[in-house]
Amino acid sequence: MFHADSSAAIIQDGEVVFAVAEERLNRVKHYAGFPALSVKACLDFVGAKIKDIDHVAVGQDSDANLARKVQYAVANPSGILNFIRMRQRKQVVRDLRSLLAQALVADAKALRFREHRLEHHIAHIASAYYCSPWQKAAGFSYDGSGDFVSTMMARCEGNHIDVLDRVFLPDSIGSFYTTICEFIGYNQYGDEGKVMGLAPYGKDTYCQQLRKLVGLKNDGFKLDLRYFKPLGSTEGMQVMTDGRVRLPRHFSKRMVELFGNPREPHMEITQREMDLAYAIQHRFEEIFFHLLNQLHERFPSEELVMAGGCALNSVANGKLFECTPFSHTWIQPAAGDEGLAIGAALHTYHAVLNQPRRYAMKNSYLGSEFSDSRIEAALKKSRVSYRKLEREPLLESVAERIASGDVVGWFQGRMEWGPRALGNRSILAHPGLPNMKDVLNARIKQREWFRPFAPSILEHRQSEYFEHDHPSPFMLHVYKIRPEKRAQLCAVNHVDNTGRLQTVRREENPLYYDLIQAFERKTGLPVVLNTSFNENEPIVCTPEEAIDCFHRTRMDLLAIGPYLVSKCVN
């Protein structure tokens, strides 16, 4: 709460039963206010009132690492006033009982829950470890910042997470990445993924220079702070009064002296921007592997659990098997800060209340679901013609239309938890048509030309198409596509011959699996192109939002529950 990607989750007897990011409900991207609608959605899902809740946990503890914060403020006198303001603001948002009572129109005195605060990065690691199938793993979390820490290493065993090491601000590999993104004109919160897509268009012009800006150390890494602005009250981001997030400028004049004037967002992308994108991704990976190797030395394990916003860097994730001793990863699908809700809740259950572990996350479908009658009511209200189909004819029709080159909105079951659409709020298309990327961009997504689209592949066919067979159920790894398959997957083959794949198992999502199989029967390809169901907005949540997006864009077909919708006006 009061942090980007505000969210809520509810656990019942140790099992995560519902989780959602506030942006999906209030439609404000990366919303950073209080997650009132998410909390209400959690309670509605289990049929409870806030007075029924036993424990409330928050993945944020403003008292954590206080000595380090004070030390930094004293060493940077210009920041002392901001530091005091930050502490005052934190006091205002600390009264959880009143905030919840107000949001849910309840009597604060009737609320009996115990309140728990957990340090940001422990919550990240908890969100991965307690959802993993393992009883023992190395834990790693890294992001821009959280509770004055940017990186954490931990030993996870049984019910416990023991912190091995922290890297404190202002040293932050996440902020370093953000700084270069800002410099090359990607200055919105969450733009790092775009720059990761731009990186393969660059070449090694600036890698050596970036190595000087951030050096490796035996116990982590160190930024050359002359190139970065000192931290203010924000730990790297500003939350506006309406809950939107704004990034202040991170780079100093010295960076401009080194690389020339920064690019403004509306300006053309030149080779310099591509080369800087290449260099930042390259240096990021070097630091990441250095840290993971250090973690492995301190806690040798085959298994790695990982979260934090930087864990969404799927290119780095895809390479870690070659560059570190770890053999298996479990990465939280909501690796960013929305995932803290799950981490804080599960940590309370296992580490504080000492309850046994019995839960492993089977899939990411933890969000809202809508009945057929509710979907049909939404269709009736809108001016679309539709027909209801049984399961098999629906799959056949949709697979046929995708095979023929149509772009299909696919709205089914429970919404995904985390930033990726994984086959329940997706737009699907043929991955092997040479013009499909341009068609999608022109007709629906209007994304930057350099950003790739992702493939969903049946898991047991992965190694036929990709050079690595570690599964990627949450679309968090990028692997090379095999040379002989690149033409067949041309719409999802990035310029460096990679794809950010989602591997699909039938147990995880039977309907989506069967659809891909139906597509395979028609085309020979066990792969569909999968992009999120949205158009410059948070991913659609409700049937109304899906129908509205279908109307606004030039999608050919919408499969929403058992209904197939075409664009003929009645």
Q: What are phi and psi of 317, to 5 degrees?
A: -60, -40
Which residue from 143, 285, 303, 535 is in contact with Fe ion, where contact means CB under 5 A?
143
In the complex with Fe ion, the residue whose CB is nearer, 193 or 562, is 193
Distance in Å, CB of 143 to Fe ion, minimum: 4
Q: What is the largest CA-CA distance in the chain?
A: 69
Q: What are phi and psi of 414, to 5 degrees?
A: -85, 140
Closest CA to 94 of 117, 114, 120: 117
Q: Distance between CA 153 and CA 326 in Å, rounded?
A: 14
Nearest to Fe ion by Cβ — which residue?
A: 143
Q: Answer for the pair 345, 366: CB distance below 8 angstroms, yes or no.
A: no
Task: Pick the catalytic residue from 3, 120, 121, 296.
Answer: 3
Residues 336-395 within binding reach of Fe ion (CB under 5 A): 337
Distance in Å, CB of 559 to Fe ion, minimum: 35
Distance in Å, CB of 340 to Fe ion, minimum: 7
Distance in Å, CB of 480 to Fe ion, minimum: 29
Distance in Å, CB of 82 to Fe ion, minimum: 20
In the complex with Fe ion, the residue whose CB is nearer, 146 or 455, is 146
Q: Which two tokens stand for residue 304?
A: 């790695």
In the complex with Fe ion, the residue whose CB is nearer, 142 or 453, is 142
Taking CB under 5 A as the rule, which mask of x and - marks residues 91-130 in contact with Fe ion? Answer: ----------------------------------------
Name beta bridge partners: 501. Answer: 477
Name residue 251's amino acid. Answer: F
In the complex with Fe ion, the residue whose CB is nearer, 329 or 424, is 329
Q: Distance between CA 196 and CA 477 in Å, rounded?
A: 13
Distance in Å, CB of 118 to Fe ion, minimum: 12
From residue 400, how far is each of 128, 404, 423 by CA, in Å?
A: 38, 6, 17
Q: Which stretch binds Fe ion (CB under 5 A): 254-262, 314-322, 331-339, 429-437?
A: 331-339
Residues 451-480 within binding reach of Fe ion (CB under 5 A): none
Q: Distance between CA 77 and CA 81 in Å, rounded?
A: 8
Q: Which stretch binds Fe ion (CB under 5 A): 137-145, 297-305, 379-387, 424-432?
A: 137-145
Indicate the helix (H) or strand (E) that contains 373. helix 372-381
According to DSSP H, which parts of 422-509 are helical? 436-440, 462-465
Name the 3-class secondary structure at 510. Answer: helix
Distance in Å, CB of 141 to Fe ion, minimum: 7
In the complex with Fe ion, the residue whose CB is nearer, 143 or 171, is 143
Q: Which stretch binds Fe ion (CB under 5 A): 63-71, 145-153, 250-258, 512-520?
A: 145-153
Angle, helix 120-129 to helix 340-347, in steps of 10 degrees: 80
From the number of C-beta atoms within 10 Å of its C-beta (0-12, 13-18, 19+), residue 109 rates as exposed
Q: Answer for the pair 299, 138: CB distance below 8 angstroms, yes or no.
A: yes
What are the DSSP E strand ranges found in 452-538? 454-458, 477-480, 498-504, 527-532
Distance in Å, CB of 165 to Fe ion, minimum: 17
185: left (phi over 0), alpha (psi -120 to 50) or beta: left
Distance in Å, CB of 335 to Fe ion, minimum: 9
In the complex with Fe ion, the residue whose CB is nearer, 2 or 201, is 2
Q: Which stretch binds Fe ion (CB under 5 A): 61-69, 143-151, 227-235, 471-479?
A: 143-151
Q: Distance between CA 507 and CA 256 in Å, rounded?
A: 52
Size of the site for Fe ion (CB under 5 A): 3
Distance in Å, CB of 145 to Fe ion, minimum: 7
From the number of C-beta atoms within 10 Å of its C-beta (0-12, 13-18, 19+), residue 297 rates as exposed
Taking CB under 5 A as the rule, which mask of x and - marks residues 404-443 in contact with Fe ion? Answer: ----------------------------------------
Q: Which two tokens stand for residue 51?
A: 């007075």
Indicate the helix (H) or strand (E) that contains 7. strand 7-12
From residue 118, how far is each of 44, 359, 469, 502, 558 by CA, in Å?
A: 25, 20, 35, 31, 42
- The question of whether 266 is a catalytic residue gets the answer no
Q: Which stretch binds Fe ion (CB under 5 A): 50-58, 136-144, 160-168, 513-521?
A: 136-144
Pairing type for strands 214-217 and 563-566 reads unpaired
Residues in the chain: 570
In the complex with Fe ion, the residue whose CB is nearer, 139 or 431, is 139
Distance in Å, CB of 336 to Fe ion, minimum: 7
146 part of the interface to Fe ion, by CB under 5 A: yes
Eight-class DSSP state of 229: P
Q: Name the residue with tokens 């929305």.
A: 338
Q: Answer for the pair 315, 460: CB distance below 8 angstroms, yes or no.
A: no
Residues that bind Fe ion (CB under 5 A): 143, 146, 337
Give catalytic residue positions: 3
